[in-house]
Amino acid sequence: MEQVDLKSVVNIVPSLLKIKGEYWVNYDEEADVLYISFARPQRATETETLDSGILVRYRDREIVGITVLNASKQPL
């Protein structure tokens, strides 16, 4: 397991605190895909694809997850 860059983690804390409720984050390094889930199990009924390579997953009208393609190349 690689060492965690503590400064990078601390820098994102304010943004993470804006997300209310529980969420899970998984990163597939080989595929360079970041998964953020707001519900377990996700069971999305619809997916919206944004131009930036981000997939927003819905169950009815509620966002249950976000998938970020080419995550390491996304602009900050």
Could you tell me the two tokens for 56?
Answer: 């927003």
Q: Where are the domains of the chain?
A: 22-73
SS3 assignment, position 74: coil
pLDDT at 76: 65
pLDDT digits (tens, 9 = 90+) for 6-57: 888 899 899 889 988 999 999 999 999 999 999 888 789 999 999 889 999 9
Q: What is the pTM of this model?
A: 0.82
Residue 59 scores a pLDDT above 70: yes
> What is the rounded CA–CA span in Å between residue 16 and residue 18?
5
pLDDT at 54: 95
Complete DSSP assignment for 1-66:
-PPP-HHHHHHHHHHHHTS-S--EEEEETTTTEEEEESSSS---SEEEE-TTSEEEEEETTEEEEE
Query: Are 49 and 66 contacting, i.e. CB atoms less than 8 angstroms apart?
Result: no
